[in-house]
Amino acid sequence: DAKTTQPNSMESNEEEPVHLPCNHSTISGTDYIHWYRQLPSQGPEYVIHGLTSNVNNRMASLAIAEDRKSSTLILHRATLRDAAVYYCILRGNAGGTSYGKLTFGQGTILTVHP
């Protein structure tokens, strides 16, 4: 599985934008970049995903580098509810023994200050 690298932790103030970086230099051409987040004692929650173009949804934006070796999750206005562990994960198509599984790295712990 292609690996991702994220900072261990980041901090932000409420109502300010947050940029969470992710490096994935060994990404393959068919891998999608997925972001999930996990609040304490809960299962992960889908945030956003993309392939090449930047993506926007109601939760966040995803900026993907032109060479696809890095990406940035953007929370436009952080709230206290956004405090969570954010995981950047590469997902390929199911095939062979992969079954399209998600392999989690350590993620980034985001702390939001009031």
Partner 1 sequence: GAVVSQHPSRVICKSGTSVKIECRSLDFQATTMFWYRQFPKQSLMLMATSNEGSKATYEQGVEKDKFLINHASLTLSTLTVTSAHPEDSSFYICSASSQGLANEKLFFGSGTQLSVL
Cβ at position 104, least distance to partner 1 in Å: 4
Should residue 104 be labelled a site residue for partner 1 when binding is judged by CB under 8 A?
A: yes
Should residue 26 be labelled a site residue for partner 1 when binding is judged by CB under 8 A?
A: no
Should residue 97 be labelled a site residue for partner 1 when binding is judged by CB under 8 A?
A: yes
31-63: string of b/e by CB count within 10 Å (b at 16+)?
bebbbbbbeeeeebeebbbbeeeebeeeebbbb
Strand order in the sheet with 18-23: 18-23, 70-75, 61-64, 55-56
Should residue 44 be labelled a site residue for partner 1 when binding is judged by CB under 8 A?
A: yes
- Whether 88 and 71 have beta carbons less than 8 Å apart is answered as yes
**In terms of CB distance, is 13 or 26 closer to partner 1?**
26
- Whether 5 and 105 have beta carbons less than 8 Å apart is answered as yes
Should residue 31 be labelled a site residue for partner 1 when binding is judged by CB under 8 A?
A: yes
* Residue from 46, 52, 56, 79 in contact with partner 1 (CB under 8 A): 46
| Interface residues toward partner 1, by CB under 8 A | 30-32, 34, 36, 38, 41-46, 49, 51, 87, 91-94, 97, 99-107
